[in-house]
Structure 1
Amino acid sequence: MNDDPAAAAAARSAVAARRRVLRGALAVAGAAALHPLAAVAGAGVAAAAPAPASGTSVIAVRRFGRYEVLALLDAHGPFPGTGQAAFPEATDADWARARRLDPAAFGPGDTWEPDFRCYAVRRPGGRVTLVDTGIGPVGSPASGWAPVPGRLPAVLARAGIVPGDVEAVVLTHLHEDHYGWSVTPEGVPVFPEARYLVQHAEVAALGPTRTARTYVVEPLLRAGRLHEVDGRTPLAGPAGPGSAVTLLPTPGHTPGHQSVLVTGGGGRLLITGDVLVHAVQLVAPGVRYLYEADPATARRSREHLLAEARRTGTVLATAHLNRPFIHPWAVDVLTH
């Protein structure tokens, strides 16, 4: 969602402290024999995850042909500052429509309370493509501002997904609330059999000291797990006629932001990442988000994405709205 340098500096210090805590906890538990994800969850990281908003499901499921798409709630909690500060161009009318669409996002005093959500695309045979890995444990880079610890390890277990089931991890972009459970605090890939896929433009834009590079990119490179793609990329093999998972460049929020298109059974679903981060950008796509790297490009990506979704009847799967799945045509029905 953002990559605040001050928060990142604080988070690096917290990561070091967290590593010491985890080492001690895991030693006591005899965790050397555990898989990294089981070890982290076993240390109590996931158990204390913030509660979701009232009425929000931790797991929501849609089927598209033989694909099963699972929305996995990592966390819910307030974003720093006010909604108006994050979306300075939004009008009173925009806010009124957004509130009708996603009331759980509106906290006291104009605070914004987003969900932090990942997605799993499960194909026949149980193999999984995981889209984003959330905010991570206490001490992860998102700890400076996000409601850590996230609950993703526990939610994956509830969904019947073990780390070895995950054949691909798609990182929509390299903001810290989207890669938190990619590696352990020691830099070990949490999903050891997965390719971690990110757009080349996203990695190329990172300076040598950026937290995303040191915390997640370099460990994945050392492990041989990072795979850079360039542009539109078919990912999973077909799960029946007309079925596919495809990576689509949607730049602007970050230079190499990507979304994930799932087609199957005659339906389409688009996992949006941070192309839109609040309902106010769904009802008013021209509204700028304060932390977009290139607002003009982000606006074009968002407007094109929403226009195409309306034209094709594509369901949107959102990362930060408090409703995981929404039809673009339903926006008009729900907000008027």
Structure 2
Amino acid sequence: MNRVESGMRRRGVFVERLQEGGWILKSIAVGRVDITALTDIEGAFFKLDQIFPGVMEDQWEPYLHRYPWAFADRETLRGRVGSYVLRSPEGTVLVDTGVGPQAMGAGGKLLVELERAGVHPEDVDTVFLTHLHGDHLGWSVKPDGEPVFPEARYVTQAAEWEISAPYLGRAVAGLDALGVLELLDGEEPVGEELTAIPTPGHSPGHSSLLVASGGEQALVSGDAIVHPAQATEPTWNVHFDLDKEQAARTREMLLAWMEADDITVAAGHIPGSGFGRVVRDEEEPGRRYW
């Protein structure tokens, strides 16, 4: 268990349940909404200087010691392509659909993880796509063009669809034709306790999903935050941030908001569960940490 998960357990929020075959279900409760972390693939995917090209080697030193679980070695990031399933009396929402069956190795395991969590594809009412990069929509459509989640509406920002759709091909083209695609215009409710929050920069129409229930809040942040070091270094952009200045502004806004309102964050590229909080270190009160 990494230090984030250990800390959340002390707060009585983070829950681990051992499932059949040794699989561990990692969940948090936010009011009436249970959020379960799922992993499509996880491993050592990128060298640090590839994914964070503007960050010098020596700048990583304090974070190698603080977050050893987020590195494969001193030069390599340990990453994850994750999704989250949200369950409440209102229904079941899946946030992002991973890399899909064409993932590295034997393919992504999102559907297996969903089954282990007790969710069948037909149980999903809404698929919320934070953005339309290939590692976030891979399990959206079958090879025959039919939706993987047959009873779901697929929700994303219109600004994201307009710039991405011409390049996506089979990955999402069938959704529009089948009438199951719903396009949002900025901040909009997605459900009774769920709100899409525009968080642009990584992509033009990137959005995060705010869960607000029973006086508690969590934010599924997509790719606005991809590494715990960014809690301290919000100007550190990844290679894939399309508008780097905007991405940094968005990240700073989110970090300040999450700290001020004690919002739990669920970040799909951070190893393990991706659950965490933004805090101040008692020894360094001027600096935020994950």
TM-score norm. by structure 1 comes to: 0.73
Q: Letter of the aligned partner of 2:156 in structure 1?
A: V
2:211 to 259, 262, 276: 262
Q: Deviations over 1:223-242 (max 9, x none)?
A: 111111110011112xxxxx
Q: Letter of the aligned partner of 1:328 in structure 2?
A: V
Q: Letter of the aligned partner of 1:232 in structure 2?
A: E
2:249 to 300, 303, 316: 300
Q: Establish whether residue 62 from structure 1 lines up as the match of residue 20 from structure 2.
A: no
Cα separation, 2, equivalents of 1:297 and 1:284? 15
Aligned twin of 2:109: 151
Equivalent residue of 2:49, what SS?
helix
Q: Letter of the aligned partner of 1:164 in structure 2?
A: E
Cα separation, 1, equivalents of 2:156 and 2:108? 22
* Alignment CA distance shift 1:110-1:92 (3 Å): closer
Cα separation, 2, equivalents of 1:207 and 1:183? 14
Q: Letter of the aligned partner of 1:102 in structure 2?
A: Y
Cα separation, 2, equivalents of 1:191 and 1:89? 39
Equivalent residue of 2:63, what SS?
helix
Shift of 1:331: 6.8
Equivalent residue of 1:205, what SS?
helix
Cα separation, 1, equivalents of 2:280 and 2:38? 22
Equivalent residue of 1:71, what SS?
strand
Shift of 1:330: 6.1
* Alignment CA distance shift 1:90-1:279 (3 Å): farther
Cα separation, 1, equivalents of 2:146 and 2:106? 20
Cα separation, 2, equivalents of 1:289 and 1:66? 34
1:59-98 to 2 correspondences below 5 Å: 59-80=25-46, 82-92=47-57, 94-98=59-63
Shift of 1:317: 0.5
Q: Letter of the aligned partner of 2:76 in structure 1?
A: T
Q: Deviations over 1:285-309 (max 9, x none)?
A: 1112111111011111111011100
Q: Mark the runs of 5 or more structure 1 residues left unpaired by the alignment.
A: 1-55, 238-243
* Alignment CA distance shift 1:85-1:331 (3 Å): farther
How many residues align? The count is: 264
Q: Letter of the aligned partner of 1:188 in structure 2?
A: E
Q: Deviations over 1:168-220 (max 9, x none)?
A: 10000011110011111222101111110010000111263x1x2x1223111
1:326 to 262, 276, 283: 276
Shift of 1:89: 2.5
Q: Deviations over 1:63-117 (max 9, x none)?
A: 011110111111102224x112221232456423332443233224612220111
Q: Establish whether residue 178 from structure 1 lines up as the match of residue 128 from structure 2.
A: no
The structure number with the bigger radius of gyration is 1
Cα separation, 1, equivalents of 2:281 and 2:130? 24
1:26-175 to 2 correspondences below 5 Å: 59-80=25-46, 82-92=47-57, 94-108=59-73, 110-124=75-89, 127-138=91-102, 143=103, 146=104, 149-175=107-133
Q: Letter of the aligned partner of 2:239 in structure 1?
A: L
* Alignment CA distance shift 1:327-1:93 (3 Å): farther
Contact map agreement 1:197 1:229 (CA 8 A) in 2: yes
1:284 to 233, 239, 248: 233
* Cα-Cα RMSD: 2.3
TM-score norm. by structure 2 comes to: 0.84
Q: Mark the runs of 5 or more structure 2 residues left unpaired by the alignment.
A: 1-21
* Alignment CA distance shift 1:235-1:331 (3 Å): farther
If asked which structure has higher relative contact order (CA below 8 Å, sep 6+), I would say 1
Q: Deviations over 1:111-155 (max 9, x none)?
A: 222011100110026x211000011113xxxx4xx5651111111
* Alignment CA distance shift 1:220-1:176 (3 Å): same
